[in-house]
Chains A and B, each alone.
Chain A
């Protein structure tokens, strides 16, 4: 069965600093990978997705992620964060009819 591990439950960072949120998944023949963001008191919205092709995927709000098959990782990065990026971020892998979600990483951006 597929699984997703987000190693960091919370990542504090100062405004304008770079950030990386880590995600590892269990291997499979082919994977479709996603990052979702949840702002306070809202639902989840898609940041970016990897289906095939280039391993570097660009998403909304300046985020990008790199698919690394050998490391079974799909880490999320942003070169310079804003206060408004404070949110919870979920990594997910597609498995048959479902998405398997990680436990989430809370990004806390401080001024």
Chain B
């Protein structure tokens, strides 16, 4: 049981390049989330999904796109990277039917630098 995994762990991009971050979970969770973490700003929600085939905008969605084609995977795309997207990205998942809270389980993070 690997929990939540993220690929890659590190990446350096040049301005204007594109990339996709992959998140996978093996806990049969319905909900999945992408956050970014910047110094002094805590965690900010980028996009989230409440089920396979659904996505929704979070607090800071501009410059990012997501897809949830399979229940266990949630992809985060940067079409044209900018230096302002230099950050640590965390994926999380939560919720099985019947659960009352929304305890989220986090991946180890992806450190992205945009030059």
Chain B residues whose CB sits within 8 angstroms of the CB of A36 once the complex forms: 106
A34 to B, closest residue via Cβ:
B103
Q: Total A-B residue pairs with C-beta atoms closer than 8 Å?
A: 50
Chain B residues whose CB sits within 8 angstroms of the CB of A103 once the complex forms: 40-42
Separation of A45 and B104 alpha carbons in the complex (Å): 9
Does chain B have a CB within 8 A of A42?
Answer: yes
Knowing A43-B107, A44-B90, say if A49 contacts B42 (CB, 8 Å). no
Separation of A73 and B103 alpha carbons in the complex (Å): 19
A32 near B42 (CB under 8 angstroms)?
A: no
Q: How distant is B38 from chain A, measured CB to nearest CB, in Å? A: 11
Mask, A15-53, CB within 8 Å of B = 1, is 000000000000000001010100001111110010100
Chain A residues whose CB sits within 8 angstroms of the CB of B109 once the complex forms: 41-43
